Structure 1
Amino acid sequence: MNQPSKDELAAQYKAGMRRLAAGVSLITTGHGETQAGLIATAVNSVSADPPTLLICVNQSASAHDIIAACGNFCVNILPTACIDIAGQFSSSARRSERFASGEWRTLASGAPVLCDALASFDCRVTQQIAYHSHTIFLGEILDVRVTETEVEPLIYLDRNFHRGVSPYQLNPA
């Protein structure tokens, strides 16, 4: 069996990753008048002691250098009700609209927090790891805000946004 070429492998990798359903997070950063954000699915829990998350950000993303300079970010887990906000932050053509919608506040780090998020993790960057086209930012969590509303997460799968799914019952009564 022949090993695929570099380009073929990259195409196969992308096709395979499109099959991985993931929650949609809005990563925000900034301080004062300087604000930026991007939509991401590359968000992971690292540790509960101390509470730490990691995000992977393309080095060409407009928010990348602001995260690095400000040393903070907030992971806002989006509900399906925030699909329009997800669209604004997904499009570079709509960059000027990004913080025009939604209700915003700040917590300890100064990064923007979306009040309608299912949960928001306010983080201080503790480490940056450059890896090819992306930077992995490790963020120690300074504060967490969790909504009391019904949980209906926005999901990304096969290049499209989807509504969250109902719990699956393994042993129906």
Structure 2
Amino acid sequence: MSDTCPEAIEAPLTKERYRDAMASVAAAVNVVTTDGPAGRAGFTATAVCSVTDAPPTLLVCVKRDSSVGEAFRANGALCVNTLAPEHVALSNLFGGRTHVDERFAAAVWTTAETGAPVLEGALASFDCRVASVVDVGTHAVLFCEVVAIGLGEPSEALIYVGRRYDTVAACA
């Protein structure tokens, strides 16, 4: 057995190499929204995943120094809206430096039980209360207990992989 690493594994680990590797990991594209005493806010996220189904819990990662991070902590509620291919422009708006009013003006929204904005036409919407927050490096990990779910029409799902959008067939 060799004591050396395979050629595909390189040391030392750099931030750029980590980002390049993560670009090969396909992920669903979501617009995460909140509203409440700290105001309305939203951002595009691929760092969303299920934690457990008892109780139903998601985790959502948000950059701590982002313009929206504090609103999510302070409001204590959010909605994860999973996007379909027709939402690419909306994803770009919520992923950029666009003013919050312009972001929300680009789509039709309803209000969830928690008060968070729900995207009309989302593949799925998870209305959540933030149960806890853990700071890790540059990001805050929000553990979110799901209180209600909305399911849209079956469609292809919007994913992000290789630093570009793509689609994948969603199950009906």
TM-score w.r.t. the length of structure 1 is 0.87
Residues 110-139 of structure 1, C-alpha deviation per residue, up to 9 Å, x if partnerless?
011101100000000010001111000001
**Is the contact between residue 123 and residue 143 of structure 1 (CA under 8 Å) also seen in structure 2?**
yes
**Is the contact between residue 55 and residue 138 of structure 1 (CA under 8 Å) also seen in structure 2?**
yes
Q: Matches of 2:57 and 2:100 in 1, distance apart?
A: 28
1:164 counterpart = 2:168: yes
TM-score w.r.t. the length of structure 2 is 0.88
Q: Matches of 1:166 and 1:45 in 2, distance apart?
A: 17
Structure 2 unmatched ranges of 5 or more: 5-9
User: Residue 3 of structure 1 corresponds to which residue in structure 2?
Assistant: 11
> Post-superposition shift, 1:42?
0.5
Residues 91-127 of structure 1, C-alpha deviation per residue, up to 9 Å, x if partnerless?
1045441000111011111011101100000000010
Pick the aligned partner of 2:155 from 151, 155, 163. Answer: 151
Q: Matches of 1:122 and 1:130 in 2, distance apart?
A: 22
Q: Percent identity?
A: 36
Moved more, 118-127 or 101-110: 101-110
Q: How many residues align?
A: 163
User: Residue 129 of structure 1 corresponds to which residue in structure 2?
Assistant: 134
Distance 1:166 1:69, change over 3 A: closer
Moved >4 Å (runs of 4+): none
RMSD of aligned C-alpha atoms? 1.9
User: Residue 171 of structure 1 corresponds to which residue in structure 2?
Assistant: none
**Is the contact between residue 103 and residue 114 of structure 1 (CA under 8 Å) also seen in structure 2?**
yes
Pick the aligned partner of 1:108 from 109, 113, 127. Answer: 113
User: Residue 47 of structure 1 corresponds to which residue in structure 2?
Assistant: 52
Structure 1 unmatched ranges of 5 or more: 168-173
